[in-house]
Amino acid sequence: MITFKSVIFTTILLKLLHFSESYMITIDSGAQDCFHEIGPKMSLMFEVIEGGFNDIELRITDPQGKVIHEGTEKSGKYTFGSGDPEAKYTYCFVNEKVSMSPKTIMFNMDVLDGGRVAGAPNESEVGHNKLEDMIRELGAGLTSVKHEQEYMHVRDKFHREINESTNSRVVLWSTFEALVLVIMTVGQVYYLKRFFEVRRVV
């Protein structure tokens, strides 16, 4: 039987997951990528997957162009916003002075809910708000788990590629060593054979 609470839960959960986006980008050396988001409150989580020392410069600016965060990091999670649903924020990943190699970055941007309308709630509204808060917390937890799974999947993919590359190099090197040993053995046998043949002629 479908209850009113389950309908509210499903609706809010789908709404929360709808505003959760996950991206993966590669930034060349000496370049930067900037993104713009409009919303009352946002949560940015990022991780440098590959490149250089696995660090990147992050710069976040508010709608007035004021820098609210700037730093060089390997990963991070930041929540920012003024509550204004029309506020436009800009965040840039900069690879201009950190390293000479391109960087691969995975990041998630969540546009969060802007809060409640002011007023004096009655008892039913208080209970309803508590239920909404619990659903929001659950939705945020599920989103965090989803992001962690995506990150672990990407890390697993890169580690698998590194392992396969290392394995192929080991096989190639072992084959090369075996080939060198065979050539040296044949060369030594040939040299000793010629040495004894010359001795016999003399």
Give residue-wise pLDDT tens across range 111-132: 776 544 334 445 555 667 888 8
Give residue-wise pLDDT tens across range 87-109: 899 999 998 875 578 888 888 88
Rounded CA-CA distance 167/83 in Å is 52
Task: Give the residue extent of every domain in the chain.
Answer: 4-157
The DSSP 8-state label assigned to residue 165 in this structure reads: H
Question: What is the model's pLDDT at position 171?
Answer: 93
Give residue-wise pLDDT tens across range 15-48: 444 445 578 888 988 888 999 988 888 888 888 8
Question: What is the model's pLDDT at position 116?
Answer: 42
Rounded CA-CA distance 15/112 in Å is 10
- Is residue 104 within 8 A of residue 25, CB to CB? The reply is yes
- Please provide the average confidence, as pLDDT, over all residues in the chain: 78
Domain covering 4-157 assigned CATH 2.60.120.510 in the classification: yes
